[in-house]
Amino acid sequence: MKCWLVLLGMALSLPLYAVSPTAAPTAAAAAAQLYGQYCQSCHGADRLGGMGPALLPESLERLKSAEISNTISQGRSATQMAGFAGQLTDEQISQLTAYVQSAPATPPRWSDADMRASHRQPVALSSLPARPQYTANPLNLFVVVEAGDHHVTVLDGDRFRPITRFASHYAVHGGPKFSPDGRFVYFSSRDGWVTQYDLYSLQVVADIRVGLNTRNIAVSDDGNLILAGNTLPQTLVLLDAHGLAPVKTIAVRDAAGHPSRVSAVYEAEPRHSFVVALKDVPELWEISYDRHAAPVYAGLVHDYKMGEALAQPGFLTPRVTPLSMVLDDFYFDPSYQHVLGASRSGQAQVISLDARSKVADLPLDGMPHLGSGISFERDGHRIMATPNLKGGQLSFVDMDSWQLIRQVQLPGPGFFLRSHENTPYAWADSMMSAHKDTLSIIDKRSLSVVRQLVLRPGKTTAHVEFTRDGRYALVSVMENPGELIVVDAQTLREVAALPMAKPIGKYNVFNKINRSEGTSH
C-alpha cells in the first residue's frame, strides 16, 4: 500500500521519470505516446507550440500541476483547447501533466533561421492609412490585455467603449510598448512572440517568434529598434521596429562564458540606450543605440544600412556594469543615471550607470517590488515609492539622499502601485493577500493611507491606470469573467464597468509615450 502511494505521489507530483531506471522509461514512453495522439497536432511534435502554446517546463513553470491537469481534463473556454475528460483516464491525465512539465529528451532549440522563418508581415507598412480609422482620440486609447482568454481590447478612453477586440498570442506578459508617436503598439508573449499592431487601422502588421520563452521587450526612443530579452534560448534579439525584421542576436554570457537568462530589458530614453538585467550572472548591461556614436544609423524609416551601422564600435554592443550580486528587479531615476535594483533575497542597491558601480545601499526590507515603483515631487524632493511583495508595506525613498523616509502598512502584500501628475493620490492593491479585493488610496502629500476602496467584495482587484488627464482611474477585477471598472479619481465613485476576461493590465497611450511619473514605462 505504501509503495502504491509513493508511486501515485510520483505520478502526480512530477518530473520524476528519471528516478526509477526500470519503471521510468515505460511511464515516459506511455506519456509520449499520449502526447503524440492527443496534443501534438496543436502543440507541435517538439512541444514548441503551434496553434496552441508551447508545452515546455519553462512555459508552464507558473502553473500548478492541478491547474495543468484541469486544463487537460476540462479544456479552456473561448479557446481551441478541448477537454479530454471523456477520452483519458485520471491516470493518463496525470501522466500527460508530468510529461509536459518535464524537460524534453532533446533540448529545445530556436535558431536565427527558425526566427526568420516565423517572421510574417501580413500588411505592408506603406499601405497603412495616414489617420486613425475611428473618431476616438488616438492618444487617449487604452490597450487592455485580457489574460482570461488571451485577447486584447482597444478602448476609447473618453467614452469608455471598446473600439475593437482581437486574439493575442498565448500569455502576453508585461506591458505592451508603444512607438514614440503612439501609433504602433508592440506585445510580447511568454512563448516568445513579438507582435506589432497598428492602432490607426486596428490590425496586426507584423509578427515574429524571437525565442521559446521571452521576458519582455523595449522600444528605442527614436522608434526604430525593439529589444527582446529571452530566457530560452539565452539571447537578446534586436528587431527593426518597422516590420520586426531581425537585426542582431546577442548571446547572453559573462566574460567567463557562463550563460544567463535575461530578467528584463528597459529603455533608458535620455541615454539612448537599452538596459538589460540578467537573472543568472551579477552584471547589468547597457546597449547604446546612440545615433551620434553611429552616424550611419540615421534613424530614418527603412533608410539606413544596418550592416554598416553594426560595424560602428560600441553601437548595439553591450557594456557591462559588474554587480556584487544578481539584481533582477529595477527602477530608474528620471535621468536614467541611477538604477535602483533589488535581488530575489530582497537586498536593494543604487547603481550609477555612468560610474558603472554601486553608489548606495537602499534600506528596504522584505522583497521590494521596484518594477512597480512610481516617483513624485514632495517638498522639493523627488520621492520614489515601492510596494513590498513580502511585508505588504509601501516604502518611500528620498531620491536625493537615498534614505527611507516613511513606511506605510497596507492590508496585505500587493503587486502594483499607480498615480498620475494630476492627482494627489497613489493607488496600491493587496492582491497577494486575504485582502485581495482592497485598494489603498495613499495621499502623496502626507504619505498616509486616506481611504480603502472595495469595489467588488471578495474579487481580486488590482492594476490601475489613469486617463491621460488623470481624471479617471481604470481598475481591473482580475477574474474570469472579470471587469474593468472606471472610478472618478477625485470622488472615488464608480462611473462605469465593462465586462472583461481577467484584464491583467491596461495601458494608456498618452501616459506611456509621455512617460507619466505615475505609471510604468
Please give the residue ranges that form the binding site for ligand DHE (CB under 6 A): 62, 147, 173-175, 215-216, 264, 371, 415, 463, 504-505, 520
Buried b (16+ CB within 10 A) or exposed e, 332-347: beeebbbbbbbbeebb
> Measured from the CB atom, is 166 or 401 closer to ligand DHE?
166
Number of Cβ within 10 Å of residue 396's Cβ equals: 21
> Measured from the CB atom, is 34 or 489 closer to ligand DHE?
489
Tell the smallest beta-carbon distance from residue 294 to ligand DHE (Å).
25
> Measured from the CB atom, is 58 or 207 closer to ligand DHE?
58
Helix (H) or strand (E) holding 68: helix 65-74
Tell the smallest beta-carbon distance from residue 74 to ligand DHE (Å).
21
Which amino acid type is present at position 346? G
Helix (H, G, I), strand (E, B) or coil at 385: strand
Distances (CA, A) of 94 to 65, 402, 426: 8, 51, 45
d(CA 486, CA 463): 12
> Measured from the CB atom, is 174 or 482 closer to ligand DHE?
174
Tell the smallest beta-carbon distance from residue 258 to ligand DHE (Å).
21
Helix (H) or strand (E) holding 71: helix 65-74
Angle between helices 90-101 and 2-13 (to 10 degrees): 50
Tell the smallest beta-carbon distance from residue 415 to ligand DHE (Å).
6
Tell the smallest beta-carbon distance from residue 215 to ligand DHE (Å).
6
Tell the smallest beta-carbon distance from residue 338 to ligand DHE (Å).
19
> Measured from the CB atom, is 31 or 278 closer to ligand DHE?
278
Tell the smallest beta-carbon distance from residue 62 to ligand DHE (Å).
5
Contact call for residues 442 and 448 (beta carbons, < 8 A): yes
Write out the three cell numbers for 53: 502554446
> Measured from the CB atom, is 9 or 334 closer to ligand DHE?
334
Tell the smallest beta-carbon distance from residue 24 to ligand DHE (Å).
29
Cell 495613499, residue?
Answer: 442
Nearest alpha carbon to residue 484 among 511, 463, 467: 463
Tell the smallest beta-carbon distance from residue 479 to ligand DHE (Å).
13
Tell the smallest beta-carbon distance from residue 505 to ligand DHE (Å).
3
Pairing of strands 472-477, 482-488: antiparallel
d(CA 349, CA 368): 11
| Bond preceding residue 233 cis, omega within 30 of 0 | yes
Helix (H) or strand (E) holding 203: strand 203-209
Angle between helices 65-74 and 90-101 (to 10 degrees): 120
> Measured from the CB atom, is 132 or 182 closer to ligand DHE?
182
Helix (H, G, I), strand (E, B) or coil at 270: helix
The residues, any chain, with a CB within 8 Å of residue 462's CB and separated by 6 or more, are 414, 415, 416, 429, 431, 436, 439, 475, 476, 478
Contact call for residues 346 and 368 (beta carbons, < 8 A): yes
d(CA 389, CA 368): 6
Tell the smallest beta-carbon distance from residue 232 to ligand DHE (Å).
13
Nearest alpha carbon to residue 466 among 412, 415, 427, 408: 427
Tell the smallest beta-carbon distance from residue 171 to ligand DHE (Å).
7
Helix (H) or strand (E) holding 113: helix 112-118
> Measured from the CB atom, is 94 or 195 closer to ligand DHE?
195
> Measured from the CB atom, is 28 or 225 closer to ligand DHE?
225
> Measured from the CB atom, is 463 or 468 closer to ligand DHE?
463
Nearest alpha carbon to residue 371 among 354, 399, 352, 348: 348
d(CA 184, CA 201): 10
> Measured from the CB atom, is 264 or 484 closer to ligand DHE?
264
> Measured from the CB atom, is 175 or 470 closer to ligand DHE?
175
Helix (H, G, I), strand (E, B) or coil at 360: strand
